[in-house]
Structure 1
Amino acid sequence: MKPFLERVSVEDGTSWTLFDRQLADGIPFQWHHHPEFELTLTLNSSGQRFIGDHIDRYDDGDLVLIAPYLPHTWHSLSRLDPHRPHRALVIWFDKLWAERLTGNYAELGGTALLLQRASTGLMFSRPISQAVRPRIEALFDLPPFERFLALLGILGTLSLDGGSRPLATSGPEVVGPSAERTRLDRVLDYIHRNFAGKLSIAGLADIAALSPSGLHRSFRRQTNQSISQYLIRLRIGRACALLSSGTVPIGTIAGEVGYDSLANFNRQFKALKGLTPSQYRQNFQATR
């Protein structure tokens, strides 16, 4: 897997950034987070979307808003038009940038509430997604000032979507840059690179330069879950992607995501998803 903490760069003369990501071979499972808000419109693609502990299908036109430091990824399975690439139009903007805007202008009060609601991830209704789709696509052809005004308009429209719904059950505690945040990023990066292997609290504490008890407190404070809960969700999330994308034997998948015991894998999978791995695969294939 690629590094967990994604670095987002901003071009000169702009205060936020956007990216037109096009992938012929599909969107890979790359679990990550970053300190920016992210608005992503996915086109010509269907598969699974992972936001925190939430896992769901997505299709062409899927539009979601993700808060800073909320782990997420997409895993594509098919394209509507096989001759065109999977496409994700991604907008990133800084939390402080958003707070300054919404705090200084009463007209952006609805946008401020929208960003608060995005703490656990927010999926927008189909009518609103379809309405803003051409406006998001048009952003890439606008000069910076007009692009900035257009973004404010898009966020204003999204704030009026009564059909939007939250995704994850909880979001991370959002904090500013600090020694604690840096320590935790090192730990999360290591976990995401090595989640299928043997991880020890002592080893992770060394990476964070904290005592084991200090690491436990810091991890829970900033992720709202324990290290073991986080690791289980990461492993099961990866297993869901593998179960939905082929016919690899379940025992093989269990080993690939870090389980020596198939019984333990089945037990933890059902506790988190409410289904056995085989039932999950059957249900996913039945709805394709």
Structure 2
Amino acid sequence: MPTLRPRHLPRQRQPELELDYARPTSLGYEAAEDIGMLRCLSHGFPTPLARWHFHDEYELHLITATSGKAFVGDWIGPFQPGHLVLCGPRLPHNWVSLDLPEGGVPERDLVIQFRHEPIAHAVEMIPELAEVMPLLERSRHGIEFFGLSERAEAHWRSLKQARGLQRFAAFCDFLGDLARCTDYRLLSSVQMQSDERDTELDRIGVIVDRISGDMATPFSAAEAAAELGLSESRFSRLFRRATGNTFTDFVNRVRINRACHLLMETDRRVTHICYEVGFNNVANFNRRFLEIKGLTPSEFRRQTEHRFGRH
């Protein structure tokens, strides 16, 4: 029988912040004296480590057993053995197995955690490391890689056994494979995807920030073009080049992305969220949400309840 939540306690909505004191060796973490800039971790399922949480480190996560539902930020999707994801700092995540055999499994997750600062500082002195920076920037959205599971597991096991310079070299080799991988997808739906140093594209970024910062105020492509002193056709070409979307599609995606967070983190009614994120028609909101997320807002909210590992 499920445990009843006391009426006076609020419903849990926020992810748990994981800090070093919550990383004992008894749960599979390496001892502090055995790690440098990165740590390797393996664990089975069920485990206290599998929960809706976030932390300051990047996390490279490989599933080796069971299948179920993955939650990365506002993304919900299936996973199975070979599922490989890089989560950026403070991006909430959890993997919930739905086909667990009796007694659980001894090894389900192979994990590498590392901090941003050592790499960012090293790039200033070692130009070759700059190759990984676009990868790390993309990871803010969560990256799922395809076709790398066997190599990823081999990399992880090499890292686990190595120490010192040998471990760092193995880590660089692993990062290089990820940086060169072209078969991936971002798990967040909105992003600036151009790496070109183009002043006009930088100006598009101003418009993107405005869209993201004030979703409830109507803002048309014609108004955006006029604000930048561009013709509407020129603006539309630049905007698609910078974001991969038309202006209207991008606005819808930004609004739906925000709606996802409100559905996950608040108890506000779907109709209230619809208007708060800038839609003026509930039917249109439901339709756009279904197109972008693959399920209705209500179903999205129901499914996100599983991110805590409770069915």
Interval of TM-score (by shorter of Structure 1 and Structure 2): 0.5 to 0.7
The DSSP-based 3-state class of the residue aligned with 1:148 is helix
| Mapped pair 1:40 → 2:61 | yes
Deviation at 1:260, TM superposition (A): 8.9
Aligned to 1:134: 154
Q: Is the 8 A contact 1:26 1:77 kept in 2?
A: no
Aligned to 1:120: 141
How many angstroms apart in 2 are the aligned matches of 1:73 and 1:58? 11
Aligned to 2:16: 4
| Mapped pair 1:75 → 2:81 | no
Deviation at 1:109, TM superposition (A): 2.2
Q: Evaluate the alpha carbon distance shift between residue 269 and residue 48 of structure 1 in structure 2; reply closer, same or farther with a 3 A threshold.
A: farther
Picking from 98, 107, 121, the partner of 1:100 is 121
The DSSP-based 3-state class of the residue aligned with 1:78 is coil
Deviation at 1:103, TM superposition (A): 3.1
Q: Evaluate the alpha carbon distance shift between residue 100 and residue 81 of structure 1 in structure 2; reply closer, same or farther with a 3 A threshold.
A: farther
Deviation at 1:141, TM superposition (A): 1.8
The DSSP-based 3-state class of the residue aligned with 1:17 is strand
The CA deviation string for residues 11-49 of structure 1, in whole angstroms up to 9 with x for no partner, is 2252221211222x3788622211111111111121111
Gaps of 5+ in 2: 1-11, 24-30, 192-253, 274-282, 304-311
Compute the RMSD of aligned alpha carbons: 3.8
Aligned residues: 204
Picking from 7, 14, 17, the partner of 2:36 is 14
Q: What residue identity is the alignment partner of 1:165?
A: R
Map residues 240-251 of structure 1 onto 2, 5 A cutoff: none
How many angstroms apart in 2 are the aligned matches of 1:169 and 1:278? 18
Q: Is the 8 A contact 2:61 2:84 kept in 1?
A: yes
Report % sequence identity: 28
How many angstroms apart in 2 are the aligned matches of 1:31 and 1:269? 26
Gaps of 5+ in 1: 172-223, 236-257, 282-288
How many angstroms apart in 2 are the aligned matches of 1:43 and 1:269? 36
How many angstroms apart in 1 are the aligned matches of 2:44 and 2:19? 19
Aligned to 2:230: none
How many angstroms apart in 2 are the aligned matches of 1:112 and 1:259? 38
Q: Is the 8 A contact 1:44 1:85 kept in 2?
A: no
The DSSP-based 3-state class of the residue aligned with 2:151 is helix
The CA deviation string for residues 86-116 of structure 1, in whole angstroms up to 9 with x for no partner, is 5111111111112122332222222112111
Q: What residue identity is the alignment partner of 1:44?
A: A
Q: What residue identity is the alignment partner of 2:134?
A: L
Map residues 154-193 of structure 1 onto 2, 5 A cutoff: 154-170=174-190
How many angstroms apart in 2 are the aligned matches of 1:81 and 1:62? 22
User: TM (normalized to structure 1)?
Assistant: 0.58
